Amino acid sequence: MADVADVLAPYRRLLVAQIRSQTQYRLSFAVDLALNATITVIDVFVLLAVFRVTPELAGFGLIETLLIAGLAQVAFQLADLAVGNLERVPFYLRTGLLDAVLLRPLSAFGQLVVLDFMPRRVGRVVQGAVTYGVALVLSGIDWTVPRVLLAIVAPIAGAVCYGAIFTAGAATMFWLVEGGEVVNAFTYGGRDFASYPTPVYGPWFGRLLGFVLGLAFVGYLPALALLGRADPLGTPGWLHWCTPVVSVVWALVAASAWRVGVRHYQSTGS
Amino acid sequence: MFASAFTNSVFGFLKTYVLLAAASTGSAAGYDPAELAMFAWAGQGLLGVVQLFSWTEVADRIRTGDIVTDLLRPMNPLTAFLAADLGRAGHALVIRLTVPIALGAVFFPLRWPEQARTWVWLVVSVGLATVTSFATRYLINLLAFWWLDARGPNTLWLFGGSLFSGLAVPIPFFPEWAQTVLWCTPFPWMLQAPLDVLLERGDPAGLVCGGALVAGVMLGFAAVLQRVALRRLVVQGG
């Protein structure tokens, strides 16, 4: 146990230093937190506006959709807080700073995560958690022990999925360097996709992003399990509980992609 | 270029499917499915033309002190940046607007204008929307003279630019009172107005006159704020 603490100590020190430097100016940090929470409220407003003109989306009401969106929001914002700054990998590649990172006797992934950690993103997580909490209360769930566990585990497993998408996306930068925009389609686009019931989307688009990329497992399927609803798409009931399994698969895929990417890295030579 | 077109298209699909699901009864807020699909794809295209993304070029120049170089030129910086922005928009009109609409047309039935003159109105309307968007962005950037970190005003811009412009959802999706309030802000004039012209909703002449008025007012505000800012300019040393 002491060994693990020893290994993690340098990361912890880097992380604490980063947090301290960014929270040095209390008022400015408080404003940043508030701004970050504000910007994520947009999605809730959009949802309310859509449900003002229609009573249901693909058979799902406002509160049910809010539950799906809340799950997706918490999952995405947690991942964004933890590893969202991997978006800066192209910057490290272009400037050659990655050489310095790779020379240190620490993991490249661990360093990149703690070096640009942004505590102000906590504001977004709080906003997502409020949406999720409100939806949980309003949707009148018939609580059982497995459902309580799922309500806690699903957003975390979803966060692992999004974290894996961020990581795999950053890994592709070792080849594409300037393809940051494409990754956004899967990270931010993936967040928007998972915020609505999967049957909303056309057959090929919904299957591709929902079941091949597994984004249906972030919000839609766990919400079905919590609500005890059958899936209009016809997936079996046991599948709605499988978000943790999908997140493990995603994590393994992302980890190998990252390793291959780092191995492929050739310095800018400057 | 390819990367941003790809991402733009993914969001186009996401938006279209949600809007179409909202119109499962045949229409939503007076839009039929073909109009909603056109709204979504043309909106994705116009987004890059009128530039609703985060833009901090001037604020960054103020922070670094580079703005002094702009002030030394024998040309008003407002005019110079506006000219550059209109050039950018002209290029985007050809590339960024046509690609999403063409792609949308492959996958969805779109509502095309019935009258040829709508296209002329559209180009004028998009031009005015670009000026309004530029003036508002410039105004927000100028706040960096007082507030060296332009992050706060920029967040406000992102909020208005996506939620109140018609990018996230069409303005008629909001309650009546909110619509009235919103049309008094510059935001719907940046996207919803040209899209109304394209879908032939309302009177194009009225929309273009309104757009011209708002563009003029916002440019005026920007010019006044610039003058105030330059009167109390303190150049960042270094």
| pLDDT tens track for A159-205 | 999 999 999 999 998 888 777 788 999 999 999 999 999 999 999 99
Residue with tokens 């591709």: A208
Q: What is the pLDDT of residue B31?
A: 95
pLDDT in tens, A81-137: 999 989 888 888 888 888 888 888 888 898 888 888 888 888 899 999 999 999 999
Q: How many CB atoms lie within 10 A of CB B115?
A: 10
Inter-chain CB proximity A182 and B21 less than 8 Å: no
B108 touches chain A (CB under 8 A): no
> Percent of chain B scored above 70 by pLDDT?
96
Q: What is the pLDDT of residue A101?
A: 87
Inter-chain CB proximity A49 and B149 less than 8 Å: no
Instruction: Average the pLDDT over each of A257-261, B7-11, B31-35, B146-150 and give the range with the smallest value.
Output: B146-150
Residues of A in contact with B28 (CB under 8 A): 53-54
Q: What is the pLDDT of residue A171?
A: 92
Q: What is the pLDDT of residue B97?
A: 87
Inter-chain CB proximity B159 and A38 less than 8 Å: yes
Q: What is the pLDDT of residue B218?
A: 97
- Kindly calculate the radius of gyration of chain B based on its CA atoms and give it in whole angstroms: 19
Alpha helices in chain B (DSSP H): 2-22, 33-46, 57-64, 67-72, 77-95, 98-107, 117-142, 151-163, 176-183, 192-198, 204-231
Instruction: Average the pLDDT over each of A99-108, A187-196, A206-215, B118-127 and give the range with the smallest value.
Output: A99-108
B13 touches chain A (CB under 8 A): yes
With both helix axes pointing from N to C terminus, report the angle between A122-138 and A62-83 in degrees, rounded to the nearest 10: 160
B contact residues 154-183, partner A, Cβ 8 Å cutoff: 155, 158-159, 162-163, 168-169, 173-175
Residue B181, helix vs strand vs coil: helix
Residue of higher predicted confidence among A106 and B136: B136
A189 touches chain B (CB under 8 A): yes
Q: What is the pLDDT of residue B180?
A: 96
**Nearest CA to CA, how far is B106 from chain A (Å)?**
14
B192 near B165, Cβ under 8 Å?
A: yes
Residues of A in contact with B158 (CB under 8 A): 39
